[in-house]
Amino acid sequence: MFDLSLLSKAIDVGDREKTIQLTNEALSAGTNPQDIIVHGLQAGMAVVGEKFSNGEYFLPDMLMAARAMKAALEILKPLLKETGIPTIGKVVIGTVEGDMHDIGKNVVATLLSGNGFEVFDLGLNVPAKKFIDEVSEKKPHILGMSALLTTTMPVMGKVIKALEEAGLRSSVKVIVGGAPVTQDYANYIGADAYAHDGGKAVPVCKQLLDK
Ligand code: B1M
């Protein structure tokens, strides 16, 4: 069995080349791509976050780790899409305006598309108007919003209000997530659902299709 802690370490030290090499080795050893993301890459990123919090790491360290993780996700994304599962629902997803964190959102988008959802990823720093326009045009079953900063969490509530004002709220289910977001916060802003991580987002979105 491949030791995924090696991959976590490569993310921790922001070594892109090593991360790519170890991701390929893990795949060759038969490791499931979802396990590589959750137990290797994401676990490493959690350490980076802790080190940033306690002053051991600075912004460039986070950037290097992010670069390494993105490179690994690029390798894994097509493999998660190769499941051959028929499309079960449409999701528009993005990171809200003012927020430049897109790795978690990318993980969620990748896992959703690997589990049968058609995903329209609007990227990061997405203005409310863009969310509204895309919901109006694509008519998704689900709108997903990600926020990683306490300062950008309220933007998700603003988008929900804008959906109401545009008369679109009843046409789409809203799921929110991101490290500082909680179920209580999701209830507070009037979202339909919350998921703590990408793995949980998949069954939660499937449940939303039946509501
Ligand atoms: Co930033 N950053 N960052 N950062 N950064 C955090 C979030 C922070 C917690 C670090 C810390 O202090 N420990 C802190 C926020 C504090 C707060 O608000 N309370 C922070 C800060 C302060 C900042 C800056 C302000 C730093 C500065 O400039 N002084 C700045 C802000 C820039 C901005 O956005 N305007 C900044 C910048 C950056 C980088 C650009 C360098 C980089 C992001 C690169 C990128 O994303 N392209 C970065 C990084 C890498 C982090 C940490 C270390 C890692 C985030 C990450 O990618 N995690 C982060 C610390 C941490 O979270 N531990 C931190 C891995 C990812 C897989 O997990 O994103 O949580 P996560 O996603 C999970 C779940 O949250 C959930 O599922 C995902 C997958 O399982 N989820 C959803 C996410 N979205 C979801 C949506 C859903 C459902 C589930 O439904 C739609």
pLDDT reported for residue 18: 98
140 and 60 housed in the same domain: no
Q: Of the residues 19, 52, 131, 160, which should be mutated to test ligand 1's pocket, given the most ligand atoms within 8 Å of the CB?
A: 52
43 and 135 housed in the same domain: no
**Residue 15 φ/ψ, nearest 5 degrees:** -90, 95
Q: Per residue in 63-114, pLDDT tens?
A: 999 899 999 999 998 888 755 667 899 999 999 999 999 999 998 998 888 7
Q: Per residue in 115-167, pLDDT tens?
A: 789 999 999 999 999 999 999 999 999 999 999 999 999 999 999 999 999 99
pLDDT reported for residue 198: 86
* Degrees to nearest 5, angle at CA 22 with 101 and 18: 70
Residue ranges making up the domain that contains 53: 5-79
Average pLDDT value for the chain: 94
pLDDT > 70 in the chain, percent: 98
Strand 117-121 and strand 173-177: pairing?
unpaired
Domain end marker among 29, 51, 79:
79
Overall domain count for the chain: 2
In CATH, what number is assigned to the domain containing residue 21?
1.10.1240.10
Q: Of the residues 8, 34, 62, which should be mutated to test ligand 1's pocket, given the most ligand atoms within 8 Å of the CB?
A: 62
